[in-house]
Amino acid sequence: MKNIHPIMLEKYADDTQYEKMGDYIYKKRADKSICTALSCDLEEGEDSQYPLEDLLDKFYVNITNYYSLNDTARQLSFEVEGSLDDVEENYAHILEVSRLRVF
């Protein structure tokens, strides 16, 4: 996975559903979960499953949605949210994820 960068999803503009917590980080008003969306390029031999599993395990996040998988360009966009009960700890993990930059 390379060229990882946060992306803005249209749904985050709805401030009745989402509260902005920081750059590219949002809190769902309904259940207080913390989320962000990322885009990346998959490297040769990678698919949409791996290396995302490593990301999930390392940062304690869940993938909630896949938004695009362009096999030709090998690009993947997805949303993650914290998987822990502690909102502050989830924020810290999502903050780390949103700052990932691998080129």
Distance, CA of 95 to CA of 59 (rounded, Å)? 10
Q: How far is CA 16 from CA 13, 28, 99, in A?
A: 9, 9, 26
**Residue 66 counted as domain residue:** yes
**Residue 58 counted as domain residue:** yes
Supply the pTM of this predicted model.
0.84
Q: In CATH, what number is assigned to the domain containing residue 50? A: 3.30.70
**Residue 103 counted as domain residue:** no
Q: Is the pLDDT of residue 68 over 90?
A: no
Rounded mean pLDDT, 58-74: 82
Q: What is the pLDDT of residues 5-34, one digit of tens each?
A: 999 999 999 999 999 999 999 999 999 899
Full domain range(s) for residue 43: 2-98
- Total tally of structural domains belonging to the chain: 1
**Residue 74 counted as domain residue:** yes
The SS3 of residue 21 is strand
